[in-house]
Structure 1
Amino acid sequence: MNGTNVDYYVSGFDTAGKRVGSLICDFDPNKNAEKLAALKEKAKSLFSDAAVVDVVSAADYNKYLTGEYVRGVDGQLTAYVAPEPTAEEKTAAEKASLAAEYASNKADMLNALQVAQLAGNTNAVANIQQDYKDMTEAYKAAVEGVTAK
């Protein structure tokens, strides 16, 4: 079952093979070259990101919709394989992880500091303040140590 009442679509695909848009093809593309050419031109004008505009079956169209499939370099439906993250993306992710950990630790220290201040425990306040300074220095060093891999 196609889940659609048409047999064909004219779809645009970007350079990575991802579908960027589709138009219903309510006729048999194998039997009407003029209508097909006009529909492809319309698709090209509508889907500016499309590197390729092609006819796809309704069954393939449904697979493209899931995002799990793309148009392969050979023009055939192929399973999508996510690209490896770039060195910059890996670096950004590592820095974001460090920042999240720092923010969480900072919030915990703030709570502990408030409790110590309310209790009038000056030794605990001084220790927490020193721990915060040490943590901030360690965080800065860790962020500076993150390099593109």
Structure 2
Amino acid sequence: MNSTNVDFYAAGFDKSGHRVVTKICDYDPAKSKHADKIAALLDDIKATASDVVVAEIISADDFYKYTNENCVRDAATGKPVPYVPPEPTDEEKTASAASVIAAKYDPQITDLKDSMVTAVLTGDDELQAEIKAEYMELVAAYNTELEALSND
């Protein structure tokens, strides 16, 4: 599926197999007269990005798979394989759930703070006391939900 006029690329991959840098290889790497050029090109790939673990010459078809089909380099075979995202860790799941809880409470907390400023500016002590009580209840409910996450 060579959809370009380039036949070969030099590519650098990180430890998880993601392509991090690519340069055109404008000669046939199978010809032995290009061995020095290939070594220099691969050294250039490695020097371009600090996270390059593997640098190699790839075909245009493989390049297409890496750029258009969401593939990564398989460490065992060196070939493109579909990327499968890792399962989220327990910490990531907890952080995501905490973000959902925060998104639920943040608008209400912001509204109460804005209301408190208005109550203070107008000198309405009764309204200030009501807002403080409502704020304390809201923060307690928020903290209860967050604590429930850490207890799971």
The TM-score normalised by the length of structure 1 is 0.79
**1:1-149 matches, cutoff 5 A:** 2-31=2-31, 32-66=34-68, 68-73=70-75, 74-107=77-110, 130-147=133-150
Give how far 1:41 is off.
Answer: 1.5
What residue identity is the alignment partner of 2:85?
A
Q: Can you list the C-alpha shifts for 1:116-135, whole angstroms capped at 9, x where unaligned?
A: xx9x9x7x987665443222
The TM-score normalised by the length of structure 2 is 0.78
Task: Note the aligned Cα RMSD (angstroms).
Answer: 2.8
Give how far 1:8 is off.
Answer: 0.6
Query: Contact 1:87 / 1:148 at 8 angstroms: preserved in 2?
Result: no
Structure 1 gaps, min length 5: none
Q: Can you list the C-alpha shifts for 1:30-78, whole angstroms capped at 9, x where unaligned?
A: 1122221221112112222111011111222122124711001221100
Structure 2 gaps, min length 5: none
Query: Contact 1:88 / 1:148 at 8 angstroms: preserved in 2?
Result: no
SS in 1 for 2:78: coil
